[in-house]
A and B are shown apart, each in its own frame.
Chain A
């Protein structure tokens, strides 16, 4: 069955380190998204991509970057991790704008 997987599921890192969270989907969806979930804020959009070589900033993109070298993967990189980036991160994909988005199980990141 097609799916979307995130790795790792849990990570603890130190302030200032570079961290990359992986997202891999097997639906061949063009649209992929990264969100962070924090209490009281719901899911906030970090970056999104509508296809290979396309990336766009969301509402909370500072300190994060993404790259899209193939359809299946959209890795999220924290250039220099900060305590404010402690959060649960969700990756999602969808085929087109008017179809359902499927979510990964999330990555819980703690920056100490």
Chain B
């Protein structure tokens, strides 16, 4: 069965510092991988996605993620965070078969301090 693990429930980072959010998945093959962001009281917005090809993918708002097959990981990074990056971040996977369910991790809450 596929699963997604986000080991960090909560991360506090200073404005201007770098940010890395971890995501590990379990799946029989390489799934489709996504990072979503949720601002308070809002729905989810797609930051970036990986389907195949270059393992370093660029997304919106200055975020990037790197797919590492050997580690079954898809970590999200941002070189310099802004106060507006405070939100909850979700990693998600979808199976690559035609019935691929979209499954989410538990989320990482990011707090940005001045």
Residues of A within 8 A of B (CB): 33, 35, 40-45, 48, 50, 58, 90, 92, 94, 97-98, 100-101, 103-106
B64-94 contact mask (Cβ, 8 Å, vs A): 1 or 0: 0000000000000000000000000010001
* Dominant secondary structure at the B interface: loop
The list of the 7 closest CB pairs from A to B, nearest first, reads A42-B106, A97-B100, A103-B43, A43-B104, A103-B44, A42-B107, A42-B104
A97/B43 in contact, CB under 8 A: no
- Contact A92-B106, Cβ < 8 Å, known A42-B90, A98-B32, A105-B43: no
A48/B9 in contact, CB under 8 A: no
A104/B43 in contact, CB under 8 A: yes
Contact of B94 among A42, A98, A106 (CB under 8 A): A98
Contact of A100 among B46, B90, B104 (CB under 8 A): B46
A105/B101 in contact, CB under 8 A: no
- Contact A58-B101, Cβ < 8 Å, known A42-B90, A98-B96: yes
Q: Which residues of A contact B34 (CB under 8 A)?
A: 100-101
The winner among A33, A43, A44, A50 for most chain B CB atoms within 10 A is: A43
Complex Cα–Cα for A45 and B70 (A): 28
- Contact A45-B102, Cβ < 8 Å, known A90-B43, A105-B42: yes
Residues of B within 8 A of A (CB): 6, 9, 32, 34, 36, 42-46, 49, 51, 90, 94-107
Chain A nearest CB from B19 CB (Å) reads 19
A50/B99 in contact, CB under 8 A: yes
Complex Cα–Cα for A66 and B32 (A): 26
A41/B94 in contact, CB under 8 A: no
Chain B nearest CB from A56 CB (Å) reads 8
Q: Which residues of B contact A58 (CB under 8 A)?
A: 101
Complex Cα–Cα for A50 and B90 (A): 23
A45/B101 in contact, CB under 8 A: yes
Complex Cα–Cα for A33 and B9 (A): 25
**23 A-B residue pairings within 8 Å (CB atoms):** A33-B102, A35-B104, A42-B105, A42-B106, A43-B44, A43-B107, A45-B102, A50-B99, A58-B101, A94-B102, A97-B94, A97-B96, A97-B97, A97-B99, A98-B32, A98-B100, A100-B34, A101-B34, A101-B46, A101-B102, A103-B45, A104-B43, A105-B42
